[in-house]
Structure 1
């Protein structure tokens, strides 16, 4: 006889999507440093929340944004070289920063974004190999994440939080065009989107 899976509705009292992010202390050596972390209510960040993280100075923390795009002129070789470069940048940044944001915001006709999943996985494992993964939070700012499955896979590959900026900007654009109710503010759009994502993650 096996135990049934946890029901996210009837057993909500024992489930939580709260995400403590940032440097982790040694659990075998109890100290106040173990709570010196940033607690998020859930792993989905709004665009405004991400901007706060980028300029966060609380408790002397700092944030480094890692650009995961590369010039289109470099071709396939540029893809592989950029993967190596961002891993090295992340390792170096982990020595002086507490939050690393992997961003494809600079993607354009001239700059090609590396798959956020591939970039995240490469950096996550590189930091593990260099014994630096526990020192930083990995936050992903990507246009690729839109659905529950995308969010869950990114979390499974090592993301501490995700900002699906394109999905949120698309909803805001549809509101401005009159497709969505004009009364929907950016905050309402995010709350509805985050609730849908969180319900899916819980399942």
Structure 2
């Protein structure tokens, strides 16, 4: 999806270097230094405009959150939400989430969120799907023992693919929701901007899984 360039984005990011990292590899193993308190660290890959991660940080002051987004104009909007929230337990990273295994040390992350990732429907693009085996291997590397992967989508085919991918990788399913918004979990569900807009058009699917050790 083409995103309209925001002329103010680069300057805004530069002015808030305390809340956003543009050289994440320099932080490997030391991400907790970006926060006032050392707390379990959770990440969201592909944060969009930041609604999910900001609300999660607001609801869970006992956790630290890192949001990853590659598009400058998009992450700048998310950054503005973080600044306005005055939360101290959320940091943003402007980079490609595909490199996640190169950004964190082994076992540095307690939970990972994948919300409404690009489905990459063509077979030749399978390796680009964020729930494909190559990505799962990266996630397991940076997750603590029994660390969770939480995945949400409105794309039925991607959901079915992800079920198979998670299962074949050897992950243990903690939760499988075929219609999250009609489930008992919906009361605690935090919506993304995309989810809020498109959930009326069909069900939202969710998987939560971990690699048992």
TM-score (norm 1): 0.33
Higher helix share: 1
Larger gyration radius, structure 1 or structure 2: 1
